[in-house]
Structure 1
Amino acid sequence: MNLSQMTAFRAVMEAASLSAAAEKLGRTQPAVSLAIRSLEDSLGLKLFERRGRQLVPVPEAHYLHAETSDILDRLSSVAGTMKSLTAGQSGSLNVASMPGPSTFLFPRYISRFTGSNPRIRISLSSRTSPQIRELAATQGFDFGFADMIGREASAQTFRQETIAADCFCAIPQDHPLAQKQVIAWKDLDNVPLGLLQSTHITHQKTVAELRRAGGTPNVVLDSQFFLPMMPFISAGRCLSVVDPLTAVTEHEVDSTGGRVVFRQMEGGFRYEYTIISPVFRPLSQLALQIKDGWKNEVMDLLAKAGARPEYFPSAPDQ
């Protein structure tokens, strides 16, 4: 039996006549009749008694109808599922993000993309950037979003797409530097600063830029992430040089009631984000669409913030 024979057979069983079956299938009546005869020949069994223009099914035909209907319905379901998967409308998604974006921006985007679609299952994790790289090396998720911490991607483990953008200075609203639109590095000479931990590349680059401008670093607070610094900054405890998505997030959630403002830094290093995907785990259409959409979302958010984003795709050999 083949698919064409089973389709014709079910149509004849469910239609009032051979002509009605042909019309339902969009085929000619001789073509449907030929399919029925070839099916009977392959089975060695007459499935219908010919009574004039009527085809009356024999008892065995009713059994075959139930079985072929199950097969055809299952094939239709599989075809529908595959179309849904191809269109990115169903499937499983396993993603991870560093803590800053994972608090608001990343889940907001994922929820907006997937909507209320019950056919999409989501696993969303908040991990540090080193942890995300370790997961990617073990092919442990679809993709992750991290910051660049001075480690290049390995051609053997994961790919990195990079987005670079300008940093911002987070300042208490009533601080004198809040009156400036652009902050020079020398403006931070001996100013109390909150930075990421000393092992983080951003801490090291901030200190290096400040010293290059002839200033003295005065680090009074260190934190694993930027967002926990916002209450200290709003209280006037310190300033901080932060990544631009932290500025976007604080503008969106307004955790300090507007008591922290952000000003662009004058030159210096650019903050780098990476979209990381495993080498040996090809992305599904769903994951690919969401990954590419997230890249566009980040670029748009950074552009609106005035951070002048640049995108660098994975190298061809990665």
Structure 2
Amino acid sequence: MNLTQLTAFRAVMESATLSEAAEKLGRTQPAVSLAIRSLEEALGLKLFERRGRQLLPVPEAHYLHAESDDILNRLSNVADTMKSLINGQSGSLNVASMPGPSNYLFPRYISRVIGETPDVRISLSSRTSPQIRELAATQGLDFGFADMIGREASTTTFRQETISADCFCAMPKDHDLAAKDEIDWQDLDNLPLGLLQSTHHSHQKTVKALNDAGCTANVVLDCQFFLPIMSFISAGHCLSVVDPLTAVAEREVKMTNGQVVFRRMKAGFRYRYTIVFPIFRPMSQLARMVKDGWRAEVMELLTQVGANPSFTPTDPVPEP
């Protein structure tokens, strides 16, 4: 038996005449008759008694109708599911983001892009950048969003796409430097600064940029993440050199009620973000759609705050 035979058989069972069955299928009457005859030959059983223009099913045909109807309906459901998977309307999604974007920007995007699609199951977690890279290396997620921590993409475990953008200086809104459009490193000479922990590359690059400019890096606060530093800045305790998505998040969430403002750093290092994904875990259509959409979202957000973003795609996966 094949699908053509079963489809023709069901149509005949559910129609008053052979011509009606052919019309339902969009096929010619001889083609439907041939499909029925070939099915009967394959089974070694006459399924219908022919009385004039009518085909009267034998008792065994009713059993075959029930079974074939179930088979064809299941195949139709499979086809619909595959279409949903291809169109990103169903499936599962396992993603992670570094703290900062994971608090608001990343889940806001995920919830919006998934929309009213109840057939998508989501696992969304907040992890440090090293943890996200390890998850990608062990093929433990669909993709993750991290910052660049100095480790290049592995050609054997995971791949990465890179987005770079200008850094910003975060300061109290009534600070003297708030009158400037851009901030020079000399402007920060010996001013109290709140930075990420000393092991983080942004801390190290900030201190280096100040030293290279002949300035003193007066670090009075270090913190694991950028967003908690905003409270200290709004209280006038310090300034900070932050990644541009922190400026975006503060603008969107208004955590300090406008007490912190951001000015682009005029020169120096650019902050780099990475979208990492496994090599040996092929990406579903859903994951690819969400990943590419997030990249476009980040680029747009960074453009809106004047961070001059640029994108570097991943190299092709090397041949085994």
Match runs of 1:9-48 below 5 Å: 9-48=9-48
Report the CA distance between 1:182 and its aligned residue.
Answer: 0.6
Counterpart in 2 of 1:313? 313
Report the CA distance between 1:27 and its aligned residue.
Answer: 0.3
Counterpart in 2 of 1:135? 135
Counterpart in 1 of 2:171? 171
Query: Does the 8 A contact of 2:190 with 2:217 survive in 1?
Result: yes
Task: Give, in whole Å, the separation in 2 of the partners of 1:16 and 1:205.
Answer: 81
Q: Deviations over 1:186-205 (max 9, x none)?
A: 11011000000000000000
Q: Stretches of 4+ moved more than 6 A in 1?
A: none
Unmatched tracts of structure 1, length 5 or more: none
Task: Give, in whole Å, the separation in 1 of the partners of 2:224 and 2:62.
Answer: 69
Counterpart in 1 of 2:300? 300
Counterpart in 1 of 2:279? 279
Report the CA distance between 1:16 and its aligned residue.
Answer: 1.2
Unmatched tracts of structure 2, length 5 or more: none
Task: Give, in whole Å, the separation in 2 of the partners of 1:76 and 1:110.
Answer: 30
Match runs of 1:32-181 below 5 Å: 32-181=32-181
Q: Deviations over 1:108-140 (max 9, x none)?
A: 111110002111110000000000011011000
Q: Compute the TM-score of the two structures, normalised by the length of structure 1.
A: 0.99
Q: Compute the TM-score of the two structures, normalised by the length of structure 2.
A: 0.98
Aligned residues: 318
Report the CA distance between 1:153 and its aligned residue.
Answer: 1.0
Counterpart in 2 of 1:207? 207
Tell me the amino acid that sits aligned with residue 157 of structure 2.
T
Tell me the amino acid that sits aligned with residue 118 of structure 1.
P
Report the CA distance between 1:286 and its aligned residue.
Answer: 0.3
Tell me the amino acid that sits aligned with residue 239 of structure 1.
L
Tell me the amino acid that sits aligned with residue 171 of structure 1.
M
Report the CA distance between 1:317 and its aligned residue.
Answer: 4.8
Tell me the amino acid that sits aligned with residue 289 of structure 1.
M
Task: Give, in whole Å, the separation in 2 of the partners of 1:295 and 1:71.
Answer: 42
Matching of residue 259 in structure 1 with residue 259 in structure 2 = yes
Query: Does the 8 A contact of 2:279 with 2:317 survive in 1?
Result: no
Task: Give, in whole Å, the separation in 2 of the partners of 1:119 and 1:136.
Answer: 25
Task: Give, in whole Å, the separation in 2 of the partners of 1:38 and 1:211.
Answer: 86
Task: Give, in whole Å, the separation in 2 of the partners of 1:102 and 1:15.
Answer: 57
Q: Deviations over 1:141-195 (max 9, x none)?
A: 0000000011111111110100000000000011111111111001101100000
Q: Secondary structure at the match of 1:10?
A: helix
Q: Secondary structure at the match of 1:306?
A: coil
Tell me the amino acid that sits aligned with residue 271 of structure 1.
Y
Report the CA distance between 1:227 and its aligned residue.
Answer: 0.5
Task: Give, in whole Å, the separation in 2 of the partners of 1:115 and 1:153.
Answer: 32
Task: Give, in whole Å, the separation in 1 of the partners of 2:49 and 2:317.
Answer: 66
Counterpart in 2 of 1:190? 190
